[in-house]
Structure 1
């Protein structure tokens, strides 16, 4: 080790807990001009050339292929798994049943407790009960179809409406199921104008492009290496270890590239444990790639909801009462509920408030987190109700929202860290041409088509999660970023490279980012729109630590140091970084939430505008154009941020107009379990979408001043479309999705 290395010390840790605002950020110096630019994805060439390796594509010697076997009944106890005929298929190696202790889907992001074990009792149609392993995928698939699962039937709950009166309050967790202040009933009775309406949304599927897949291989030292399609590597390793009954130090998940998740890959799914059990028993690697139908059957769904919205207002539009009461569904014993009232807590002022959630226990596929859990369907209802109230009052929908802008969090009575909802609505109105709209419904017919426009607000809570990353500045002047953070198509590789390049003064092509390996420092993972702010802050802190060491090597203070074009500049000197690093410098950055999240309401905001046309004969709906205006703190990359909003707005189109999982009322089976029958928006359904960002910094959120954006784009998007459909036709549909059959009878002559 040379003198510089001895002086600086090679390894160090820099930690920050967000107990205080962080007004000064190195990113504000903008010495390199890298942050915020619409830089192409650094891993893009690998993806478009097919060289980015996804979970099911890793090579392994002596690989066996597994196919999962599902239960073909909705509720009951397994009495036998008959495998004789299946074992006779040439190439079959084994059929692993172990059904009293086999895995039941434990899908929940961030969970570190042992998943629920034991599918001797089957709770939903499609639950995984066995795995067939063969020398070829084709043999395993054929044999899986020949496995017979016998059972004793049990009474199941398969119809939501039949059990809605049996709803129960879930136990309080991070999200309280009920909050109340004032007297909503009295305020509603005294209101000059009131809305009391019920909105329903169906079960939905994340429909990520990459199906769930795992390759499990046990090493000689007893360590399991699992290449999997997962969003949160650190917590998923804990889940998997506990499911298998081994120490967490014996499980390593690798998820370098993930082809979408939207929440469906937050926690481990059955294929991971099945592959690991089979690989252990056979003593060879096993690959399990779920078919699309199995993804629909046995991973996770967004819960259906029934939401009662009550709004009471004075004659001039001031809200006096807000109530948002939601029924969701989930399996017996599961605590997760779709928090539809999340945004309602702070979207608008109003002193009398009630937000309540209850669970209806059904023998349907497990319900869990799907993109913007809560706001995606909750804002669909709330913003539709606000539109109804605006019409009842005869007030412009934007003006109604402006009159109910809260000065602080109306429930917690704490200030907002930043809030730009009104600014987003005003800018959106200007860009969209809102002033030209025709307020009276069904007043704009052009040939066979009724035209209409609508708008809705978007709110999404911002969260910071504990996260860490190491950054190594090598002797040849490269920066190597390592963290188990994942990139699920959101641009993580690129923004982390940008942060490191900007703070260390390096060209972007001299930054290497390693993601998704459970052997690296544990990160927050991709979920809850916290990925960029959390993992980005940990990289930032590591780089800040390296800057301090470089400043020490130059014998100047860190504030005097400028890093640009791979040179350190201070005290009228310019030195190549390579002359300062010695044998290399490695610093680990660690960020953790602190008092700031309790002292301030942190959220991202936006406004959606949509124009639709509805066929006067068929009721067909076509979205003509959409605009989203958003604020989410510092925008780290204009291109990846815009892509996230475009994806969210597309989700909004699906939620408003087409997406619906259909459950068989006889057994709860998902009937439309592929992309032919589950109608996500396709290219022809999506018009030109426009996205506009307003400048913002949030010094209370994290040291890089960025806030979550991945789920903001979907929040309220569907409501803007629904409100536009009403403006076009005068038909208010409260049962989503809005399909032709729900419009036809009410269409104007």
Structure 2
């Protein structure tokens, strides 16, 4: 008999109804009797010391419970603990209210706790703070001469430094038929998910807390709270069943978590702290980066020399770094390379991973440079990339575990109609609009790390899977249910996936496009172990028809266990569980790749993006009329949620290329547009025809399921593809992002 499969089916999100009806609860929506509200007061200066905080001015405000400042902050256990969370970069983690020193503009300097949110916010506006200001430096471009190498730390395990130089770059570059020499810049970006940063702490007595947090890792927040406040891990429960967008903003515990827990423990009350939109600009960002590329190629377009250097911003207290310059030699097998990445410490808050960190930055410079070579040599940009195609990662000398990028180029170009273009810049028009086609390559790591899952079947035959992983809107709940249902041979309706609770088996932070591969492997391992357990129990039933069968002969389908050799030999799973004296049958298992075997190959997901733009010849306004991304990402568990992920990445790519930028006034050291009115993001009118094409790809090196991630790959190739399309339309090569209309005016 054939087994029905849930994997590969376009299943609707299982939590979709709760989200669209408003019944899904987010971190700031949990109620408790006597709940107090905290409002954060932020520094208005960029660097210096707090001389005084006068709270006598709020004496006439009803409902104020307490004001916390550096002068009365309760003692904590963390001050010798460098790595307070899983995503901490090298350096010293930021400690709210530690002392009177102001390290960046918008730093939290007080927490006002009141009976109502409105009272706390009003009181915050009345508090008078006197500062002793100091000279500060916040501008990256003005401080490039102070760049230095990043400090090494635990983060380098997933964010390796640039590979060492190979060959003789300067000689090979000097002898190249075509040489490029370009400087790329992009500004600061902030995450701006729909859900505000919020934490609700339910005080349960004796140092026991239940915390509802906006986070991408319940166990990460649990680890942070326990270490910072000296609590037992078992006494800290963090839940985050629904997350209203994150994109990296919830990877690290944010300061509202610290504030809410601090106040709850001190006051022995339930406390909620929510940051407003402006305050969200005081937490993390994609760092502004300056990149330098020099590529050399022969007359046939073969790239033989690659120089790529990035200089990025970091804070004074942490060395945040991204993988920016490592990608070019992974894609293009030049023998002579020189890659470098340096940091400039500035008086800003530490940058934070933002969707496709480093990849969306570095691939813009790389792919625009490749486009420049193509036009200089009058070679089709797709053909140029096929000329430089390699099945080996030249930067490491390792073969790829799988790589269907060639098919992405060919099939993507065919479906987009790439051959219909006139390759000459400024040659295509539609009315008063210049029309341009552009394309670019995308690449992202396909990683997998440790996770655990518990699988159990109740006496009624229904299964439940438990794991602490969150679902930040990517469809994790749905795809994990599909994996479990397939492995156990049950309909999706008979499987419940319980998640987002730190009391459940371990899951890492949800990010890096590794969640489905990581947690899915743990779910599969737990369900397979449960099947073996059920098989042993079935063999021990009196008069069992399976006494002479082996496990590998068994097929689990439609709620039953069958013999593959004789489908008439079967038993219902529920009948097996009933022999367990009314108790569920369960098992807990971990899944982690063999590090020695795993490291033998380079694992990556690939894409090719194709874009058509229209540029108003008189106004310089750019519209992305259509875009197609062809993706090779291994096994696609759920085409519907996977397509949604790639589409979201494509929209973010459009946003990065044409809209998003946080403007910093270096005279004030502060962001000038910390709101959704002036921080521009795409709206419906900006998004037109977007298409996702999944290229079949087999890869069982990353995991048994053959899964690679799709969360980041949709965004990395779109900004350079748009930039290249604008060049084709206008003949103007623009190197800075975002591209504003004034750069395109004649």
TM-score (norm 2): 0.93
1:247 has 2:232 as partner:
yes
SS of aligned partner of 1:656: helix
User: Which residue is equivalent to 1:230?
Assistant: 215
* Aligned counterpart in structure 2 of residue 558 of structure 1, from 533, 551, 564: 551
User: Which residue is equivalent to 2:252?
Assistant: 267
Shift of 1:377: 1.3
Distance 1:664 1:163, change over 3 A: same
User: Which residue is equivalent to 1:9?
Assistant: none
Per-residue CA shift, 1:644-683, capped at 9, x if unaligned?
Answer: 0000000100111111010111132111111111111111
Cα distance in 2 for partners of 1:640, 1:391 equals 37
1:463 has 2:447 as partner:
yes
Contact 1:156 1:667 in 2 (8 A): no
Per-residue CA shift, 1:34-88, capped at 9, x if unaligned?
Answer: 1111100011111111111111111212101111110000011122222111243
SS of aligned partner of 2:364: helix
Correspondences of 1:405-554 after superposition (within 5 Å): 405-552=389-536, 553-554=538-539
Correspondences of 1:309-458 after superposition (within 5 Å): 309-458=293-442
Larger deviation, residues 421-430 vs 561-570:
561-570
SS of aligned partner of 2:664: coil
* Aligned counterpart in structure 2 of residue 153 of structure 1, from 133, 148, 154: 133
Contact 1:505 1:566 in 2 (8 A): yes
SS of aligned partner of 1:230: coil
Shift of 1:176: 3.7
1:63 has 2:35 as partner:
yes
* Aligned counterpart in structure 2 of residue 35 of structure 1, from 2, 7, 11: 7
User: Which residue is equivalent to 2:275?
Assistant: 290
* Aligned counterpart in structure 2 of residue 92 of structure 1, from 56, 59, 64: 64
Distance 1:188 1:59, change over 3 A: same
Contact 2:47 2:347 in 1 (8 A): yes
User: Which residue is equivalent to 2:543?
Assistant: none
Shift of 1:345: 4.0
User: Which residue is equivalent to 1:3?
Assistant: none
Cα distance in 2 for partners of 1:540, 1:203 equals 40
Per-residue CA shift, 1:479-510, capped at 9, x if unaligned?
Answer: 11111100000001100100111111111111
SS of aligned partner of 2:714: coil
User: Which residue is equivalent to 1:587?
Assistant: 587
Shift of 1:690: 0.3
Cα distance in 2 for partners of 1:100, 1:332 equals 25
SS of aligned partner of 2:435: strand
Per-residue CA shift, 1:558-591, capped at 9, x if unaligned?
Answer: 2211111111111431211101123321111211
Larger deviation, residues 175-184 vs 325-334:
175-184
1:567 has 2:560 as partner:
yes
Correspondences of 1:604-623 after superposition (within 5 Å): 604-623=605-624
Shift of 1:120: 2.2
SS of aligned partner of 1:67: strand
Cα distance in 2 for partners of 1:489, 1:342 equals 29
Q: Give the 4+ runs in structure 1 shifted more than 4 A.
A: 99-109
Shift of 1:99: 5.2
Distance 1:439 1:101, change over 3 A: farther
Distance 1:99 1:107, change over 3 A: farther
User: Which residue is equivalent to 1:729?
Assistant: 730
Cα distance in 2 for partners of 1:677, 1:513 equals 40
Larger deviation, residues 137-146 vs 175-184:
175-184
Larger deviation, residues 664-673 vs 256-265:
664-673
Larger deviation, residues 154-163 vs 241-250:
241-250
Cα distance in 2 for partners of 1:136, 1:522 equals 36
SS of aligned partner of 1:714: helix
User: Which residue is equivalent to 1:116?
Assistant: 94
SS of aligned partner of 1:485: coil
Distance 1:53 1:574, change over 3 A: same
User: Which residue is equivalent to 2:542?
Assistant: none
Per-residue CA shift, 1:122-181, capped at 9, x if unaligned?
Answer: 111001111111111111110111122222212211222221100111023323433221
1:164 has 2:149 as partner:
no
Contact 1:303 1:338 in 2 (8 A): no
SS of aligned partner of 2:646: helix
Distance 1:44 1:237, change over 3 A: same
Contact 1:65 1:136 in 2 (8 A): yes
Per-residue CA shift, 1:184-211, capped at 9, x if unaligned?
Answer: 1111111111111011111101111111
* Aligned counterpart in structure 1 of residue 123 of structure 2, from 133, 140, 143: 143
Cα distance in 2 for partners of 1:292, 1:341 equals 33
Shift of 1:108: 6.8
Cα distance in 1 for partners of 2:169, 2:17 equals 56
Cα distance in 2 for partners of 1:439, 1:205 equals 36
- How many pairs are equivalent? 716
Per-residue CA shift, 1:24-43, capped at 9, x if unaligned?
Answer: xxxxx982221111100011
Contact 1:301 1:370 in 2 (8 A): yes
User: Which residue is equivalent to 1:50?
Assistant: 22
User: Which residue is equivalent to 1:19?
Assistant: none
Cα distance in 1 for partners of 2:629, 2:516 equals 20
Contact 2:89 2:320 in 1 (8 A): no
SS of aligned partner of 1:481: strand
Give the aligned CA root-mean-square deviation in angstroms.
1.8
SS of aligned partner of 1:610: strand
Distance 1:224 1:449, change over 3 A: same
Contact 1:458 1:712 in 2 (8 A): yes
User: Which residue is equivalent to 2:640?
Assistant: 639
User: Which residue is equivalent to 2:666?
Assistant: 665
Contact 1:107 1:300 in 2 (8 A): no
Distance 1:597 1:30, change over 3 A: farther
SS of aligned partner of 1:321: strand
* Aligned counterpart in structure 1 of residue 183 of structure 2, from 189, 198, 218: 198
Distance 1:181 1:108, change over 3 A: farther
Shift of 1:638: 0.3
TM-score (norm 1): 0.93
Contact 1:42 1:493 in 2 (8 A): yes
Correspondences of 1:15-26 after superposition (within 5 Å): none
Contact 2:85 2:220 in 1 (8 A): no
Shift of 1:115: 3.4
Contact 1:193 1:312 in 2 (8 A): yes
Cα distance in 1 for partners of 2:135, 2:34 equals 44
**Where does structure 1 lack aligned partners over 5 or more consecutive residues?**
1-28
Cα distance in 2 for partners of 1:586, 1:35 equals 23
Shift of 1:101: 6.1
SS of aligned partner of 2:501: coil
